[in-house]
Structure 1
């Protein structure tokens, strides 16, 4: 039985939303190996990690920093919408406890909560392009507060 074109579009939408959400599971579980499952080898990162050899390596670095610097990490998607062309926008909130050194911030033992927004493009089941903005000032102020 063949799918109607509407059913195929719904399947693609579901895949894009699922892959876009899987990105946050990597951070919550510290699954560095999963980066290769979620991101395409030729990923374009419009906000690249300084000093990273490439975009995928930058994603590995970010997952590693969250894994090593925080415990009880949880990302909650506050808003998610699929757009045309495989694009998905996510607005999220990360909560955790800052228990290790990460992002040049010395472990503080303090609870943190900050938001971010990502715009990702999913093609053939992998993220091929990403724009990401994290509210790092919120994070920095929370770990530095007395």
Structure 2
């Protein structure tokens, strides 16, 4: 919740700055007002909010919350001719709280008696789901899309099992390899656009759209030169850095329609 809240606040400030830059040549100023704790009925409506507000109040130099009229005065100033040369700014109306917090942070940063703990870097921490998603993405982009079959051997486990093999293909690693090769022979520019990925532990689900140009025989259909695309949702299990299982559903009906092998939908 705090991430979304803070992100929305930062987004409003950046939006104001961008609009100020875009509208400045037309003489239109754009600014943002950043109030802190303002005394309103909402502030006292929930005990948790009221307690937090009291904590903020104790940290501001005036030792009191702001009043609605004080925020309103700031807005009135920015809307008046007095601020005609003020644009692209974020006017902070917080009773000095921001300055106090900055001072506290600088003081804490300069202390020498703090225990030296290792700094956490979430990007470097062991995250099985993110690692699994990266492996599946490499398969989609570099093997299927780039034809790197040396990487295929590296990414797929020797005991790989496809739970939904295509007709005429075996459910093992060799069957998957041959399917990828057939697709690249039929569509030399075969590639996918990944719309989203979701991971539950070592199981990665991907929704993507494949694209390509029909320049080779495909399921007995002679090359047509047509641009094709079809959607796929698949799930891959990744264990010990290897893809071990696959389940997939592809819109091959649409593909065959595009190639003229089936009548187009009415």
TM-score interval, normalised by the smaller of the two chains:
0.7 to 0.9
* Distance in 1, Cα, partners of 2:184 & 2:208: 18
* Distance in 2, Cα, partners of 1:125 & 1:140: 35
RMSD of equivalent CA atoms? 2.3
Please list the CA deviations of residues 15-56 of structure 1 after superposition, one character each: whole Å capped at 9, or x if unmatched: 101111112121111223332112110011101244445511
Q: Is the 8 A contact 1:73 1:95 kept in 2?
A: yes
Distance 1:70 1:41, change over 3 A: same
Query: Bigger relative contact order, structure 1 or 2, given CA contacts below 8 A and separation 6+?
Result: 1
Correspondence for 2:184 among 54, 67, 78: 67
| Structure 2: 5+ residue stretches without partners | 1-117
| 1:7 equivalent in structure 2 | 125
* Distance in 1, Cα, partners of 2:229 & 2:180: 17
Deviates more, 1:110-119 or 1:100-109: 100-109
Q: Name the structure where helix makes up a greater proportion of residues.
A: 2
| Structure 1: 5+ residue stretches without partners | none
Question: Aligned pair 1:132/2:248, yes or no?
Answer: yes
* Distance in 2, Cα, partners of 1:142 & 1:99: 14
| TM-score under structure 1 length normalisation | 0.86
Q: Name the structure where strand makes up a greater proportion of residues.
A: 1
Aligned length: 141
| TM-score under structure 2 length normalisation | 0.49
* Distance in 2, Cα, partners of 1:132 & 1:16: 17
